[in-house]
């Protein structure tokens, strides 16, 4: 079964899908080992981890694609990949969708921000016209219909610039164009979340960013509102930064190995035991 079909099976099953955000192969492996059924590769975390820069359109298509390929090849669970604005015009959008499908991702998210885009929970966002947004999404859907084995998620940031009426209308338009999932970014309160879920058909995604612009709700409450997917795109990164900063502070004065995982555990995660077994299989006298 392809990754897109795996994700569609999850969408068709009862219950909300909780997706921790990954940013490299290691974080994706940890998510799979913890028992989660899928993961989300977000531009904010990848930009931070790969180039150490803000999610303001500075990371390129090729860098995101390469990171997505590494992540998808490291795990067997479906990966939803952030395709930003599609990195250009409608033809670029088609190439982005085809590239993400070829990299093994289950779904690609395309948004309606004006390039260069920025994180949905930061200042200064701008969106393209409704016609241009429709053209992007139509190109993404065409790429899927022409053979790219991948689901399409359409995102709008219109709530921050034009209000909920425009954001909801755009999500409805995206559904009419044939997307599999919609994502209305950064509703400001629970009433806006409930309106989106009531007015727009199909699977919908909630973005749970700690200290973000949207109420931070548990998955069960999000399911009750009407969401099918809940992503936590920076939770692992936030936790990892705290642990690394604490360890660095300890290393200034000494080292306490008891506060870290063991080196053996790290070897297990990255696959040394399996590698040693393969060495035995292919050993020769």
Q: Give the pLDDT confidence of 196-216 residue by residue, as tens digits.
A: 999 999 999 999 999 989 999
Is residue 3 predicted with pLDDT exceeding 90?
yes
Cα–Cα distance measured from residue 13 to residue 236, given in angstroms and rounded to the nearest whole number: 26
State which of 203-207, 259-263, 268-272 shows the largest mean pLDDT.
203-207
Residue 281 has what pLDDT?
93
125: confidence class by pLDDT, cuts 50, 70, 90: confident
Is residue 284 predicted with pLDDT exceeding 90?
no
Is residue 257 predicted with pLDDT exceeding 90?
no
Tokens at 279, concatenated: 């060495």
Characterize the bridge pairing of strands 79-82 and 107-111: parallel
Residue 117 has what pLDDT?
82
Q: What is this structure's pTM? A: 0.94
Average pLDDT over residues 234-263: 88
Average pLDDT over residues 8-14: 98
115: confidence class by pLDDT, cuts 50, 70, 90: confident
Average pLDDT over residues 218-233: 97
Of 24-38, 112-126, 218-232, the one with minimum mean pLDDT is: 112-126
Average pLDDT of the chain to the nearest whole number: 95
Q: Give me the percent of the chain exceeding a pLDDT of 70.
A: 99
102 to 47, 108, 129: CA distances (angstroms): 21, 11, 30
Residue 25 has what pLDDT?
98
Average pLDDT over residues 175-195: 97
Domains by residue range for the chain, with CATH: 3-241 (3.20.20.60)
260: confidence class by pLDDT, cuts 50, 70, 90: confident
Q: Give me the percent of the chain exceeding a pLDDT of 90.
A: 87
């Amino acid at each position: 079964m392809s990754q897109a079909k795996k994700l569609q099976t999850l969408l068709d099953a009862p219950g909300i899908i909780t997706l921790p955000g990954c940013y490299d192969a290691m974080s994706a492996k940890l998510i799979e080992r913890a028992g989660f059924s899928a993961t989300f590769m977000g531009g904010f975390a990848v930009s931070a981890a790969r180039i150490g820069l803000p999610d303001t359109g500075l990371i390129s298509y090729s860098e995101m694609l390469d990171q997505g390929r590494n992540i998808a090849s490291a795990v067997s669970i479906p990966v939803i990949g952030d395709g930003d604005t599609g990195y250009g015009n409608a033809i670029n959008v088609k190439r982005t969708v085809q590239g993400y499908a070829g990299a093994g991702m289950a779904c690609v998210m395309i948004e309606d921000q004006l390039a260069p885009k920025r994180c949905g929970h930061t200042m200064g966002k701008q969106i393209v016209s409704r016609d241009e947004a429709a053209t992007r999404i139509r190109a993404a859907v065409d790429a899927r219909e022409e053979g790219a084995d991948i689901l399409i998620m359409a995102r709008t940031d219109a709530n921050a610039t034009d209000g909920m009426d425009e954001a909801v209308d755009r999500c409805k338009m995206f559904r009419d164009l044939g997307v599999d999932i919609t994502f209305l970014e950064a509703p400001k309160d629970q009433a806006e979340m409930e309106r989106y879920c009531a007015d727009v058909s199909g699977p919908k995604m909630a973005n749970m960013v700690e200290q973000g612009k949207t109420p931070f709700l548990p998955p069960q409450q999000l399911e009750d509102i009407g969401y099918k997917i809940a992503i936590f795109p920076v939770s692992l990164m936030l936790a990892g930064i705290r642990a690394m900063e604490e360890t660095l502070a300890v290393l200034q004065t000494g080292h306490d190995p008891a506060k870290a995982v063991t080196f053996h555990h790290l070897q297990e995660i990255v696959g040394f035991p399996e590698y040693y077994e393969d060495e035995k299989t292919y050993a020769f006298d």
